[in-house]
Amino acid sequence: MPSFEALAGQLAEVGRHCYERGWALGTSGNFSAVVRANPVTLAITTSGVDKGLLEPHHIVEIDAGGRVVRGAGTPSAEAVLHLAIVRSRGAGAVLHTHSTWSTILSDEGADGTLMIEGYEMLKGLDGVRTHEHRERLPVIPNTQDWAAAVPEVESVLQKHSAAHGFLIRRHGLYTWGRDLAEAKRHVEILEFLFEAMGRKRGIAWPL
């Protein structure tokens, strides 16, 4: 497993990449990777940092309770979601973006999910072998109290066990992977699909 220092450098690089693609503008978004599996610790971005300026010293290590055990700074209040995803999915990395298209499409789907199907790019998701795959992303309500929302998020993850991510309404995307490279690929695939769907549906751009 990569060292904390190595992961901090990789997370900073991923954050700048997401900024450059328009998926995490300003201080939006947060990114993490597992440093140690048992007991779990995460390398995670600190709150309030412009992702276009993200550097390794903006990454801290937190324990399973969200407490900082290495580095300086305050992790995002959404660190509890990263920990919940790692527990529920066995993920090695978790990425959260705030793109325009994910934010718009999070308002779609009367049944509380966004269905994506028929696109060749779906095969970029782990385990998907055909464009006929149906990717159902759950959409959960936004809140300013994520600690209180963790049980609901864990329930959604259990109910939608095949999903490669979830959306927060009018907020953004969470996705993950076995490692940072896979999580980054999932962001790229899902963000492509969101834009393709939005353009196909004739959603005005720019709004």
User: Which pLDDT tens digit goes with each residue over 12-30?
Assistant: 999 999 999 999 999 999 9
User: Which pLDDT tens digit goes with each residue over 101-132?
Assistant: 999 999 976 689 999 999 999 999 999 999 99
Question: Is 155 among the domain residues?
Answer: yes
Question: Is 204 among the domain residues?
Answer: no
CB burial readout 114-149, b (16+ within 10 A) else e: bebeebeebebbeebeeeebebbbbbbeeeeebeeb
Question: Is 21 among the domain residues?
Answer: yes
Total domains, the chain: 1
pTM of the model: 0.95
Question: Is 120 among the domain residues?
Answer: yes
Question: Is 104 among the domain residues?
Answer: yes
What residue numbers bound the domain in which 146 lies?
Answer: 4-198
pLDDT of residue 207: 44
Domain at 164, CATH number: 3.40.225.10
Question: Is 33 among the domain residues?
Answer: yes
Question: Is 205 among the domain residues?
Answer: no
Question: Is 206 among the domain residues?
Answer: no
Residue type, 58: H
Q: For residue 91, give the nearest of 181, 152, 153, 6 by alpha carbon.
A: 181
